[in-house]
Amino acid sequence: MDERQPGGPQVRLLDLIEAMRKLRGAAYPSQRASGVVTDARGAALAILTCDGTFVSANRSAAALLGYSSAELAGKDLIDLAPDDFHAALADALSASAAREFHSFSAVLTGRTGHPTRLALHQQRLPTREPGPPVLLTLFEEPLAFEPRSDDPTGLVDASERLCQTYLMMGQQKERQRLAAELHDGLGQALTLVKLMTEDALIRIRRGQVDDAAQLLDATVFRVRETIGDVRQICGELRPLMLDKLGLPAALASLCRRVEHGTEAMSVVFDCDVADKDVPEHLKADMFRVAQEALNNAVKHAEATEVSLSLRRDAGGLLLTIQDNGVGYANHPLATEDAYTSGLGLVGMQHRVELHGGTFAIESSATTGTRVCATWSL
């Protein structure tokens, strides 16, 4: 999550990932095969104490309740409910404290003061020190469920609506990311090019040809940088090499790019699979999983050696990324990257399981991290 209550419980990253997996399975049992994952990057998630005090919350949960993540830390959930609903919410929280998993509905007002009925799903989450457990809490917005007249709890297994909700949230997050990159990156770069060109024209009219030529040389350099930014954004939407050269070549290029972008890390690529043997619908997800795992190795693992392997495995495909870094096992949730996206591990799990694959992580301080994804063909 984005912020943590000072001195609050320490939660391991892998414990959070496992809690998300359990919460998904318990809250939506009919969706085990659909790959829907409560990902911290899209869903409204928070960590609460057993009595309902916010330890931390991601941006989606904070926005849903009308606060910032920092403002929610230390606030009591009951204080966000109308007075008439305090007792019912206290009873529901008490029931959650006594169970591994608990779902219930609650009416919350948030900062706006407008009462909204939400579904809350709580999964017990272990902490690194002795004491009462904390609860991973998913706030499900009204769009994700519509109570039926024959469902007094208001908590229905609305698989199609939930899938649509996650899809809409994911699309909105992607639009926001692209808008920010276009505005803050390309927008500012093009504005600078415009100003530099206008300045060069003014100098030419004044007869300052040499100064104008130097300024135009700098402008050309800025244009080249901007073209590179455009290519990077397009590559993030859909890696061009996947279409031009195929998955193995795209993965090989990715490994070379990662290795060249770091000072002291070697990246080895091993592949015995031809591009024609990889189903088209899997290629982009396989590339993204490899990309996310390599980014984690660079940013968080402190690794010096990484190997990426794509091989056949018992009638399927096995993608493996192994590093010799410090591992995730004891990685505390104390950084913005971890709070916001779980280092991308849940996103990788989602991509793999969405098409019926299996995803596994082995991590320790002595052996590093091994990310494995398998798809049956």
- Tens-digit pLDDT profile for residues 51-62: 999 988 887 788
Alpha-carbon distance of 33 to 36, in angstroms, equals: 8
Question: CB–CB of 37/137 below 8 Å?
Answer: no
Mean pLDDT along residues 364-370 = 84
Q: How much is the pLDDT for 359?
A: 87
| Nearest residue to 283 (alpha-carbon basis) of 231, 323, 240, 314 | 240
On the question of pLDDT at 76 being above 90, the answer is yes
Q: Which two tokens stand for residue 312?
A: 């056949």
More confident residue, 277 or 176: 277
Q: Which residues touch 252 (CB under 8 Å, ≥6 apart)?
A: 269, 271
Q: How much is the pLDDT for 364?
A: 80
The average confidence (pLDDT) of the chain is 77
| Residue pointed to by tokens 């419980």 | 9
Query: Tell me, what amino acid is at 115?
Result: P
Q: How much is the pLDDT for 326?
A: 82
More confident residue, 333 or 200: 200
- Residues 41-62 as b/e (b if ≥16 CB within 10 A, e otherwise) read bbbbbbbbbbebbbbbbbbbbb
More confident residue, 147 or 327: 327
Q: How much is the pLDDT for 338?
A: 38
Q: How much is the pLDDT for 206?
A: 92
Mean pLDDT along residues 329-356 = 59
More confident residue, 114 or 293: 293
Handedness of CA 231, 236, 237, 243 (dihedral sign): positive
Q: Considering only 6-20, 115-129, 158-172, which range has the smallest mean pLDDT?
A: 158-172
Q: How far apart, in Å, are the Cα atoms of 284 and each of 171, 237, 251? A: 17, 10, 11
Query: Tell me, what amino acid is at 203?
Result: R
Q: How much is the pLDDT for 238?
A: 67
Question: CB–CB of 318/309 below 8 Å?
Answer: yes
Q: How much is the pLDDT for 177?
A: 60
On the question of pLDDT at 152 being above 90, the answer is no
Alpha-carbon distance of 91 to 86, in angstroms, equals: 9
pTM of the model as a whole:
0.51
Q: How much is the pLDDT for 5?
A: 41
More confident residue, 4 or 241: 241
On the question of pLDDT at 205 being above 70, the answer is yes
What CATH code would you report for 244-376?
3.30.565.10
Q: How much is the pLDDT for 355?
A: 79
Q: Report the CATH architecture of 13-148.
A: 2-Layer Sandwich (3.30)
Place 138 in a pLDDT band, splitting at 50, 70 and 90: confident
On the question of pLDDT at 75 being above 90, the answer is yes
Q: How much is the pLDDT for 230?
A: 82
Mean pLDDT along residues 250-259 = 90
Alpha-carbon distance of 196 to 90, in angstroms, equals: 62
Place 34 in a pLDDT band, splitting at 50, 70 and 90: very low
Mean pLDDT along residues 147-164 = 46
On the question of pLDDT at 153 being above 80, the answer is no
Place 119 in a pLDDT band, splitting at 50, 70 and 90: confident
- 3-class SS letters over 131-191: CCCEEEEEEECHHHCCCCCCCCCCCCCCHHHHHHHHHHHHHHHHHHHHHHHHHHHHHHHHH
Mean pLDDT along residues 107-134 = 81
pLDDT tens by residue, 215-235: 999 999 989 988 888 877 776
More confident residue, 76 or 163: 76
